[in-house]
Structure 1
């Protein structure tokens, strides 16, 4: 019934107080279940379209392993599985245990036996894990802001060490041009070791960087 009513107006399914992200809301809107933080779509709405734009920039079909830093509601998983036909392993890292649990339960990801979720801060994961990946997706926001850590050379040097020789990355880097100074400096740094493309105003709002290691 809630799903049907949502074609008339958005219907709140639940409100959840999370470990690190404050209150988030699960809603139905036009029959689709969405996850929102206080001021932004967190998963399955415009964010899913933004990340799908990014995925179109990389050769997903040739990937054998994917790492998601910033799992959120997990909308990139059905995008990979259903739109891009990726059926192999996905490791997903998030620092909020409540968000991980919500993604698995509310959005039906608990039945994906090729998905491994990891409750850890993203930079700490890169500093401790030994795996490499063909694709790393960085999508880490606290409400509408990317924490400063994820613009640092230290973070990106660590990330590069976990990419395979032909590996690619996608970075959901900002909303509405925020952190432009940090982003410009990062772009300049990344150009040293990566072939980088920048996309502004994706879905009218976000800046994405995509890149691959220079041969």
Structure 2
């Protein structure tokens, strides 16, 4: 409790661990809340949770609560799962895919990820998972970073087409991207053109300074 109160004055680090995929991971009390950070960015809760919460609001809480299945690619400490379960009271099935077992270890110990019902966490590469799964989903959240870097495959046609195939009609993709320079902005503009008229694509720029969100609805 003392550390939590002190965190309103300055961040209080309580745990850190090296990770094969994310280099250094840190659990910190910040303004009264526990957050998970990598070396250069917020991984879960904190600003990242605010970003994804805005994205869910853009789609609509009432609409999401009518969904039956959600796929989350990039779980980290589970902030979007916490939002879905605690804020939206989502009752459907959530499947979370995370490549880094160290992150899930931290998520269970410090953020209570393993306490949520009807949530399946899969330790796997997101690209490999979407190739193997036979499930279809009403909402697919893509939130994949290695520190401040986004893997190139997220923006390639093969991955995009596979994600589109896994999405039910009238379902949504929520894609969180990071914009650090002009090249990133051009990448996002190119990404927006990769969807046919069977999809409604909306881009929300400058969310928490460096993030741009896509919401993509499958119309047919």
TM-score bracket for this pair, using the shorter chain length: over 0.9
Aligned to 1:184: 189
Is residue 206 from structure 1 mapped to residue 220 from structure 2 by the alignment?
Answer: no
TM-score, normalised via structure 1 length:
0.95
TM-score, normalised via structure 2 length:
0.93
Partner secondary structure for residue 33 of structure 1: strand
- CA offsets, 1:35-57, max 9 Å, x none? 11111111100110000111012
Is residue 77 from structure 1 mapped to residue 81 from structure 2 by the alignment?
Answer: yes
Q: Distance in 2 between matches of 1:92 and 1:19?
A: 19
Is residue 90 from structure 1 mapped to residue 94 from structure 2 by the alignment?
Answer: yes
- CA offsets, 1:105-143, max 9 Å, x none? 210111112111101110110000100110000000111
Aligned to 2:45: 44
Aligned residues: 215
* Cα RMSD for the two superposed structures: 1.3
- Structure 2: runs of 5 or more not aligned: none
Deviation, structure 1 residue 7 = 2.2
- Structure 1: runs of 5 or more not aligned: none
Q: Distance in 2 between matches of 1:153 and 1:210?
A: 17
* Alignment counterpart, residue 146 of structure 1, candidates 131, 150, 153: 150
